[in-house]
Structure 1
Amino acid sequence: AAAAMALGVGAQRMSVVQAPEFPPDHVARLTLPLRTALEGRIAAAPDRRDGRTVLLVAAEAVGRGTARRRASGLVRVGVRGRAPAWRYGDRLRVDTILRAPRNFESPGRFDYVGHLARRGVHVTAFVWNDETIERLPPSAAGLRDALEAWRSRLATTIDGAVAPPAGAVLQALVVGEEGGIDAGLRDAFSRAGVVHILSISGLHVGLVAGAAFALFRWLLTRSEWLVLAVDVERAAAVASLGPVVLYTALSGLGVATLRSAIMVVVAVLAGLCGRPVDVLRSLAVTATILALAWPGAPLEISFQLSFVSVLAIVVGTRRLGPARNARGWRARLRAAAVVSPAALLGTAPLTAFHFHQVSLVGLVANPIAVPIFGSIVVVLGLAGALVEPLAPAAAKALFRLAGLVLRPGIAIVRRLAAPPWAAVDVPIPTVGELALLYATLAGLVLLPRRGGRVLAAVALTGLLVDAGWWVRERSGPHLRATFLDVGQGDAGVLELPGGRVVVVDAGGFPGGDFDTGAAVVAPFLLTRKILRVDAVAITHAHPDHFGGVAYLLAHFHPREFWWSGVPGTGVEWQRLMAAVQASGARVRRLDTTAQLAPDVAVLHPPPDLGTPSINDSSLVLRVHSGRVGLLLTGDIEAAAEQRLLADPARLPSVVLKVPHHGSRTSSAPGFVSAVAPVVAVMSVGADNRYRLPTPEIERRYRARGTCVLRTDRCGAVTVETDGDRLAVDSMRGCRCPATAR
């Protein structure tokens, strides 16, 4: 009954996230996008990482002058750079564009919209320079302001006392501030399977609880009257909750920290009631409390990993560890030996689902890293935090000592993460496959009982059937092309008959740090169980087409790299060329004389191209299966279209990737007529600053009966053919009544 009630209340609470009811003055009710002035108060500690700062602003007003009006709701404001001047509680005004958050609607994508909604954020904005942000008079300070000021002061003290990267790691362990950890070091921790130690969790909270309990028990036993009057053990346990709550708030209220703190509270309450503490019951109660208090919490990656890891450790030690009544160093050693394998095995399906990577070296790394980062460093760091308000010099000394311990620990993690086999990229399982994997693990835990044997056998059979389906799907005779939603850019994946895979462009944001290869293209490939591609092609040297290619070269080991031979310029191009060289892929400069495969032809550029614009140097590829042809055109413009019209017999295609995102410089009437597409795919970003596609170009295609699908409205578009019929699908449900002619 309690479980049913919790599920009912949880479902009702989820409606707050899925279908929120906004007050009349909420910023989400504005007509977005909207260029306006935003006034508000910073409602959380600024998140500084990867060359940008995120300010969570509680809106107070929008507009200026007579257009100014009261507003409410949270706005996520991204700021280029570290914006060091801004702190929790500061009030500000900034001219910006308010937008509704949007996902890249491609298979395997991260649900950014849901992630923000679970935090009460439904509007975003971006500022190129924090100097354009105007500071407003402060409002009255409260307890949270004082706590955040302490956090900020500790982070500043650590930053001044301990050089990077050790200083950044120490900030993560003491105050939960992970923004200073660079991407390379974070990747090393992830590959080594120890990234969890960068988050404040059970070990840290347990140290605080244990130390506080010991201190209060010692203080209470100093008084003979108290020893006789009260139960010292229970009183010390209750008193220890104060430091636990303080540390939980100081560390930023992360999910793993909250889970640990609530479990401590549950254990203390059980002790006060004279009942034994059962870890699994405490875990279930904690999960229920968090799920009810924070709508949508079970959908958070940190929630899932935190609870599943603890569950795996408890189940693993009960199944494979020493007997409950066993004592001595052998029992403790056996229990410790089970912890790391149990946690890694229990969370492996989830890490594959969310991060498409599984660490192999984690079995060795965790027993080495956890004592360094989770015990010695945390004790020194927390001691420094405790004495900082009274003795800043002593705090600096303790932080420096913690930094000295961290340096060899970081070196060990980097060394363990260095081998190529330390972590392996794995396909992303579907939700059904995830259930089968956990059913298999559950069956193995229950062995040798009959129920365990049946469960394991059924789950393994399901996995084998699923694997057989994927082998058939991947090696079948069909041609499948997916045009991914990468914003204002291009990215396409060709799955050719026989299992061959070619990636044509991978999107990119010029001047930005968002990697579309890692965030959009790679997850799509892994949802299709593709771990290696035959070729990666860039149609031309513009970063909105090649920006994500470097990641694919490093992780999907293509045999060949195709391009037109016309180079780009700038740092991003140099980075791509370095990645090409490091990948070892065979580099092929393609023109119309190139011989690729019977079903793949190069229609442009010609070998005597001369010196065209970069757009007009684009590769044009035609792929066909039976009577169905697909024409991929890059960003060709009028001059290249005229060259193609010199041999119009090669152009007719059922599916056309519209040139240059639907710009008026392309898709001339003669070219559109020569191709005569049934389906035209326009790869464009929502509300893009170029205002593409041009309305007249879109009308030109629709006027001749072509089914036009735009990635900003339809998400990723997939076309599949057996050489006769054509099936069209999209992430947002757009359809075409299209068949081959």
Structure 2
Amino acid sequence: MTSRPLILPLLGMVGGLLSAHHLNIFLTPYLLPILLIVMLACAILRSRMPFLFFLTAFFFAWGNAALQPFLRPSYPSNHLVRFVSHVPVTLEGIVATRPEAKDEGMRFVIAAERVFRDGKAIPVEGRLLVHIREGRGNILTGDRVRLAARLRQPTNLGLPGEFDYRRYLAYRQIYVTASVLSNDNILLMREAAAYPFQRRFDSLAGELGDFIGKRFPVEGGILRAILVGERGYVNKRTEEIYARAGVNHILSISGFHIGIIAVTIYYLLLKLLARSEILALGLNLRRTVLLVALPPVVFYLYIAGLAPATVRSVIMIAIATIALLLERETDPINTLTAAAFSILIFTPQTLFDISFQLSFLAIWGLIILTPLFMEPFSSINNTKLKNLLLFVAASAAAITVTLLPVAHMFHRTSVAGLIGNFVAVPLLGYGAVVTGFASLPLIHLAPDAAHFLLGIAAWLVRLSGSLIEIIAGIPPLPLRSVSLLDLSVFYPALLALTLVKTYRMRYSVCLLAIATLFMLHIPAGANSNRMLRITFFSIGQGESTLITFPDGRHMLVDGGGSLRDDGMDTGTRYLAPALWSMGVDRLDIVVLSHPHPDHLKGLISLAELFPIGEFWESGIEEPVGDHAKLRSILAGQGVPVRNITSATPSCTMGNVKITPLAPAPDTLGCNSDQNDNSLVFKLIYGEFSMLFTGDIGHCGEKMLLRDPGKLGCTVLKVPHHGSRHSTTPMLLDVASPLVAFISAGAGNSFGLPSPETISRLHQRGISVFRTDLHGTVEVTSDGKGYSIRTYSDGHFH
């Protein structure tokens, strides 16, 4: 450890951060001074072990305490959270971050100054994240703006595999959000501008981006992303293609871009200055060029909007430059740990930024794994072949070391990246980035010369895009679900590889880690405890339920979806990660209760992401719109479609009887309301039963009550999200459930579930579970009794 003095402090701080973030363990801040005193006292001891122990403990406590202001905030009396309500307020403040293009709109952060209520200005404080759904104006950092909006506190849905959006914002000290329809709803008040330095760079970046976009409208999105950090102009299809090819990292200005630019500037200046005999003899050219190359890199850092990845890269370059100027040898691992430690000391929450993790892991892989991969080829003397192998080894190292974290975060892994980097790195990384960067200073000085250089960059973008689209067709690895337990094996293995010296020991560490991970993923017997598990997903104002039968097969009932055409893709954003995180990689049966958007839309993307055995629906009418699109995808994959009605015979899966109850064949097409034509069925497992009702209303319930003897159940899925037009007293009396589940979005505009429905349920002593209040809810039965759990904070409770 003496050769790498920052390893232990860094490990201590990371441990403290992890204890607060993942385990919600919060130590008293008074522990810090105690540990500091004990650590200093141990410094005089002959043995270094006590000092190192308390040094690590001190930074553990530091890391733990550093997150507490974010995770356990103490709001002052005039904080924005005091104004969160259903009633819109008028708010004024200063734009504190560079506005970021998103989809067809934009978003930015406001440092709030005052709220207007009843004609009075009330001073406030706090940061507000503002979403503009349509339009991108000329708002810059430092502008004073005024808007009217409803303030909300960010919340999570309570869904397995869900991105923790609330904590993501908390680490940016954002506890309130607002959304406005259009950029026209933002009043720009051009008084004295704050943040003048950053504002100038934001303005310059906007001008450069506009020039690129106007001159090259087709390739402009990618060029703006890799040159000025405006990734929001890259269309969704391009993003998806680059992601499938494993090269979407190239679209964000990162350490890679900074490194390429720094190295290019260094060698060009070195070659240029070396032509002068006076300069070559009178100066230490290497030191001089290192110093001269640093300002353009810092300039580019501000043009890119101070993105965390670029800040980290500049810090590492600065550390390496200082070490070289002082004529000290630089151990790459020491440089890496120094950069990480420097960043975490000032911004500890950055540890949980996935770009921070991936950028440091990629560099670590290049340092440690590349030599390991090249060791078998050490005897090769052919320079060109060795350089080619080195490139392959470096790409493989970066992919290998980021494979599990990427799968954990994005549920996506691809070997295509190994091939894709052969295209993206030379054409975009070296070619388009370097020529594009050279054009930026010329945009104002010599626009035609800038256009020429950008034309070369655009051609490289077109060429690489064509090749990347082919590479994107390579099937991904079947690795979708990586747990924190997997990462708890993976990261210590990386640490061990860093500390051990010999190649033999490093190979042993790799084999041991791979064997451990393999053992963790050996499948157990198919649901050997013979349990029926029904999971009601919390997906907002929609509905989706996963049924896991005792034999391990899976049935998904409905897929949620936004009522708006431009709404969130529930299948890709929420349901697929939830299913993968639960170990579900195949859906044996998918059921569509009725083709309304809040039940249907999410199934479209799921049909493309998951193998499906059968598709069930009521067959009430000819598919149109999204329904037709879903059926087309299913047909293309050869998925059999079954029309299920009350006349369909019961079937059994894993000793669970499935009995269709509606719609009746004689009513198909007679009811103009698709809700009342919902597919209704009942599960029976021993003494446990559950009634699935779709969105039926009073009319549909009357049809069910024709045969009341089949309606008795342990659990009732409440019809139509708890609407007052369903769940009649007669249905409740006949079904006589012990538990009722309601799927509804938190704070939805429909007022669901209705107070009347809730009252009827409570009057009968029925336990009510709601996704808007309880998050995802799971009921488990062994055929005799049952148990219910709710999901929050990353776990079922």
What's the counterpart of residue 339 of structure 2? 286
**How much has 1:339 moved relative to structure 2?**
0.7
Tell me which residue corresponds to 1:343.
398
Structure 1 range deviating more: 56-65 or 513-522: 56-65
Aligned residues: 733
Question: TM-score, normalising length from structure 1?
Answer: 0.92
Q: Which residue does 1:608 correspond to in 2?
A: 666
SS in 1 for 2:430: helix
- 2:703 counterpart (643, 665, 677): 643
Structure 1 573/78 Cα, relative in aligned 2: closer, same or farther at 3 Å?
farther
Point out the more displaced range, 41-50 or 627-636. Answer: 41-50
Task: Quote the offset at 1:160 in angstroms.
Answer: 0.9
1:375 has 2:430 as partner: yes
Select which of 189, 210, 213 maps to 2:266: 213
Question: Residues 173-212 of structure 1 correspond to what in structure 2 (within 5 A)?
Answer: 173-212=226-265
1:711 to 1:438, Cα distance in 2 relative to 1, 3 A? same
**Letter matched to residue 665 of structure 2:** P
Q: Is residue 623 from structure 1 mapped to residue 683 from structure 2 by the alignment?
A: yes
User: Any conservation in 2 of the 1:349–1:438 contact (CA below 8 Å)?
Assistant: no
Deviation of 1:612 (Å) = 3.9
Letter in 2 for 1:199: S
Number of the residue aligned with 2:24: none
Deviation at 1:268, TM superposition (A): 0.6
Looking at structure 1, the residues matched to 401 and 415 of structure 2 have their Cα atoms a distance apart, in angstroms, of 14
Output the amino acid matched with 1:541. Answer: P
The structure-2 alpha-carbon separation of the partners of 1:569 and 1:90, relative to structure 1 and needing over 3 Å to count, comes to: farther
Quote the offset at 1:725 in angstroms.
1.8
Q: What aligned pairs does 1:519-534 form with structure 2 within 5 A after superposition?
A: 519-534=573-588
Would you say 1:14 and 2:72 are equivalent positions?
no
Using the TM superposition, name which of 627-636 and 220-229 deviates more: 220-229
| 1:7 to partner: Cα distance | 3.8
Q: SS of the counterpart of 1:77?
A: strand
Deviation at 1:222, TM superposition (A): 7.9
**Aligned partners of 1:153, 1:568: CA distance in 2, in Å?**
51
| Segment drifting more, 42-51 vs 181-190 | 42-51
Q: More deviation in 385-394 or 499-508?
A: 385-394
Question: 1:111 is matched by which residue type in structure 2?
Answer: D
CA deviations 1:289-339 (Å, max 9, x no partner) are 222222311111111111111111211122122669999545433322211
Classify 1:394/1:736 alpha carbon distance in 2 versus 1 (closer, same or farther; 3 Å): closer
Give the conservation status (yes or no) of the 8 Å contact 2:662–2:680.
yes
Distance 1:439 1:144, change over 3 A: closer
* Root-mean-square deviation (Å): 2.9
Unaligned runs of 5+ residues in structure 2 are: 1-7, 11-55
**TM-superposed deviation, 1:568:** 9.0
> Could you list the per-position Cα deviations for residues 104-154 of structure 1 after superposition, in whole angstroms to 9, with x for gaps in the alignment?
211111111111112221111111222233232343361111100111011
Tell me which amino acid in the other structure corresponds to 2:209.
Answer: A
Q: Which runs of 5+ in 1 are unaligned?
A: none
**1:593: how far off?**
1.4
Paired residues of 2:80 and 2:124 also in contact (CA < 8 A): yes
Relative to structure 1, the CA distance from residue 629 to residue 254 in structure 2 (aligned partners, 3 Å threshold; closer, same or farther) is: same
The residue aligned with 1:730 is: 790
Query: Does the 8 Å CA contact 1:638/1:666 hold for their aligned counterparts?
Result: yes
Change (3 A) 1:213 1:467: closer
**Matching residue's letter, 2:338:** V
Task: Note if 1:508 corresponds to 2:561.
Answer: yes
CA distance in 1, matches of 2:279, 2:145: 52
Distance 2:591 2:437 in 1: 52
CA-CA distance at 1:389 after TM superposition: 2.9
Cα offset for 1:82? 3.3
Q: CA deviation at 1:256?
A: 2.4
**SS of the residue aligned with 1:730?**
strand
Task: Say if 2:413 and 2:480, in contact at 8 Å, map to a contact too.
Answer: no
Q: Mapping of 1:340-419 within 5 angstroms?
A: 340-419=395-474
Report the AA paired with residue 396 of structure 1.
H
**Residue type at the aligned position of 1:603:** L
Alignment match, 2:572: 518
Q: Is the 8 A contact 2:159 2:792 kept in 1?
A: no
Compared with structure 1, are the counterparts of its residues 273 and 12 closer, same or farther at alpha carbon in structure 2 (3 Å cutoff)?
Answer: farther
| Matched AA of 2:437 | L
Please give the residue correspondences for 1:206-245 in structure 2 after superposition, counting only pairs within 5 Å: 206-214=259-267, 217=270, 231-245=284-298
Alpha carbons of 1:347 and 1:198: their partners in 2 closer, same or farther (altered >3 Å)? Answer: same
Larger CA deviation: 82-91 vs 319-328: 319-328
Matched, 1:712 2:772: yes
Deviations, residues 248-302 of structure 1 (Å, cap 9, x unaligned): 1111222322222111011011112211122111111111222222231111111
Within 2, Cα distance between the matches of 1:57 and 1:572?
A: 38
Q: Deviations over 1:21-77 (max 9, x none)?
A: 333322123343442112223322222232332232222222255243122222122
Distance 1:195 1:476, change over 3 A: farther
Q: Is the 8 A contact 2:593 2:599 kept in 1?
A: yes
| Distance change >3 Å, CA 449–CA 271, structure 1 → 2 | closer
Distance 1:145 1:457 in 2: 52
Alpha carbons of 1:414 and 1:2: their partners in 2 closer, same or farther (altered >3 Å)? same
Alpha-carbon separation, structure 2, partners of 1:51 and 1:425: 33
Distance verdict in 2 for CA 1:654–1:450, change over 3 Å: farther
Within 5 Å, which residues of 2 pair with 1:322-721?
328-419=383-474, 421=475, 423-437=476-490, 459-460=513-514, 462-468=516-522, 470-472=523-525, 474=527, 477-511=530-564, 512-567=566-621, 571-595=625-649, 597-598=651-652, 599-609=657-667, 610-721=670-781
